[in-house]
Amino acid sequence: MLRYFLFYKPYQVLTQFSAEGEKKTLAHFFKNIPKDVYPVGRLDFDSEGLLLLSNDKKLTQQLLEPRNKHERTYYVQVEGLLDEIARQKLEQGVEINVDGTLYKTLPSKAKIIEGEPHLPERNPPIRFRKNTPTSWLALTLCEGKNRQVRKMTAAVGFPTLRLVRYSIGAFNIEGWDSGQIEELDEQKIFSLFQKKKLSS
């Protein structure tokens, strides 16, 4: 039986079921699910947000295949006040280090968010610095290199402070709580990930 779970991964949770020291893992949140259900892609230990888990190998392959260019949007809090020059550079692509080699990221969508997005509080919260302003960015990518978002914002002079994956395909975490889980049926999951495109 094919199973599909969407999960709002909290900060400092490993995207794996196996234990690793004292760190929290997916096993702390998922109880009694089939052993063949695994995360589709990853989210770093220090990142938060939407994660898909499934035992549907065909869907996993389709979503992880770079040429299919499935969009993922991240809400990114950065140190400093983002400007139009930095935003345009992010959209056009910047050079980052990938496994010791310079790589230019594919064109993306970058939008400066006015104010703060509605997200659950992070635990522990970002350390407040009175004299250091911060700003928020919505960054939509169709590729997923290791720690790509953090490397991209650093490349334009704005280090990432908080990183939340807001959406995968058509599904987002609007109104969700950190740690929330929702199981979807096959019809719903394929409508979210554009069934025609996946099956083509």
- Which among 139, 161, 151 is positioned nearest to 100, based on CA atoms? 151
- My answer on whether 37 and 51 are in the same domain is yes
pTM over 0.75: yes
CATH classification of the domain holding 57: 3.30.70.580
Would you please indicate which residues are annotated as catalytic (active-site) residues? 44
- My answer on whether 192 and 158 are in the same domain is no
As a three-state string, the secondary structure of the chain is CCCEEEEEECCCEECCCCCCCCCEEHHHCCCCCCCCCEEECCCCCCCEEEEEEECCHHHHHHHHCHHHCCCEEEEEEEECCCCHHHHHHHHHCCEEEECCEEEECCCCEEEEECCCCCCCCCCCCCCCCCCCCEEEEEEEECCCCCCHHHHHHHHCCCCEEEEEEEEECCEECCCCCCCCEEEECHHHHHHHCCHHHHHC
- My answer on whether 78 and 96 are in the same domain is yes
pLDDT reading at 9 higher than 70? yes
Number of domains in the chain: 2
- My answer on whether 79 and 60 are in the same domain is no
- My answer on whether 184 and 141 are in the same domain is no
- My answer on whether 12 and 53 are in the same domain is yes
- My answer on whether 81 and 158 are in the same domain is yes
Write the pLDDT tens digit of every residue in 131-176: 789 999 999 999 989 999 999 999 999 999 999 999 998 889 999 9
- My answer on whether 154 and 86 are in the same domain is yes
What is the residue range of 27's domain?
Answer: 1-69+170-200
pLDDT reading at 63 higher than 60? yes
- Which among 96, 132, 95, 117 is positioned nearest to 164, based on CA atoms? 117
